[in-house]
């Protein structure tokens, strides 16, 4: 290996080690409309993701939605790679195949599809009171 190759390899490793690690998804999150909050935890074997609906407000706290309070939006989604999980999403009576991707320390994208045809994407933001 040439001296240049060794230097390039060393520089690459130095840059990679300087990258920040993905923040944990554990914590309180709000859906983009700011009308519901979810307690996100690691569950199952410790690598699976769960999210429980723990708060409704701003008009979402109505008779139609209240039965879903304290139920799971995400129940043991399986990690497919760093910062990404796949599993079932349960959102206000609807169930979809979902992909949950942590795109940053304070943002998660939820994508749910029914029959691979009807898809919807939601953004969740870390809740900071």
Domains of the chain: 22-126 (2.40.128.520)
Q: What are the angstrom distances between the C-alpha of 13 and each of 7, 9, 82? A: 10, 6, 19
Give the Cα separation of 30 and 38 in Å (integer): 6
Q: What is the pLDDT of residues 40-97, one digit of tens each?
A: 999 999 999 999 999 999 999 999 999 999 999 999 999 999 999 999 999 888 899 9
For the whole prediction, is pTM greater than 0.85?
no
Give the Cα separation of 72 and 64 in Å (integer): 16
In the predicted structure, residue 107 carries a pLDDT above the cut 60: yes
Give the Cα separation of 21 and 103 in Å (integer): 12
């Amino acid at each position: 290996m040439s001296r240049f190759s060794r230097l390039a390899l060393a520089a690459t490793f130095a840059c990679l080690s300087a990258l920040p690690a993905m923040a944990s998804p554990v914590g309180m999150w709000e859906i983009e409309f700011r009308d519901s909050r979810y307690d996100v935890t690691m569950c199952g074997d410790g690598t699976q993701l769960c999210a429980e609906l723990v708060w409704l407000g701003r008009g979402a706290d109505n008779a139609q939605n209240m039965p879903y309070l304290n139920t799971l939006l995400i129940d043991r989604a399986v990690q497919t790679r760093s910062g990404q999980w796949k599993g079932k999403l349960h959102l206000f009576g609807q169930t979809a195949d979902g992909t949950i991707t942590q795109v940053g320390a304070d943002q998660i994208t939820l994508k749910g599809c029914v029959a691979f045809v009807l898809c919807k994407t939601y953004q969740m933001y870390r809740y900071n009171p």
